[in-house]
Homo-oligomer: A and B are copies of this chain.
Amino acid sequence: MASPDADGSEAAFFVTTRVYFQDTDAGGIVYHARFLDFFERARMDWLRALGMPVGGLADQAGVLFIVRHMELDYHAPARLDDELRVSVALRELRGARLLLDQSAVRDGQLLVAARVELACVGRDDLRPTRIPPQLRDRLSHRTSPHGA
């Protein structure tokens, strides 16, 4: 699911998702917090595609990734039956933290953009801990050369 973009950089990982009734609200559009669910699914699928499903990270490496900071820009609404392309791109690997860019796009139109900072923490104490070396190695090849 990764291919060169028009600008020559490696495209973000993405998944497609549909909008169901459960995602909408009485305003007739997708409820704003549901985009966080779409983004979380994309992050988990991305880690799985890197060979590190979160269940395995928790059980074998004893770590979780938790959200520390998030910035969201809602540009346009999504509606019932829309098909969204939800992406994840690693912007930076910083100690026990991952900085990601995520977006939800419909037919080439950016609907929601997010900057997400994840912290790697111990499963039991939730204290910051080192990203498992195997995952770190795989991730370090995926940051963009210009750090963005």
A interface with B by C-beta (< 8 Å): 18, 20-22, 24-29, 31-34, 36-37, 40-41, 44-45, 48, 53-56, 58, 64, 66-74, 77, 79-81, 123, 126
Please determine whether B77 and A66 come into contact, CB atoms closer than 8 angstroms.
yes
10 residue pairs of the A-B complex, CB under 8 angstroms, read A18-B41, A20-B40, A21-B31, A26-B29, A27-B123, A32-B70, A33-B36, A53-B81, A66-B74, A69-B73
For residue A86, give the distance in angstroms from its CB to the closest CB of chain B. 12
Q: Contacts A68-B73, A69-B74, A74-B68; is A21 near B126 (CB within 8 Å)?
A: no
Please determine whether B74 and A72 come into contact, CB atoms closer than 8 angstroms.
no
Given A18-B45, A54-B81, 7 further pairs, Cβ under 8 A? A21-B31, A22-B25, A32-B40, A48-B81, A55-B81, A68-B73, A70-B71
By a CB distance below 8 angstroms, the chain B residues around A71 are 69-72
Please determine whether A26 and B21 come into contact, CB atoms closer than 8 angstroms.
yes
By a CB distance below 8 angstroms, the chain B residues around A32 are 36, 40, 66-67, 70
Q: Contacts A36-B36, A54-B81; is A64 near B27 (CB within 8 Å)?
A: yes
For residue A14, give the distance in angstroms from its CB to the closest CB of chain B. 15
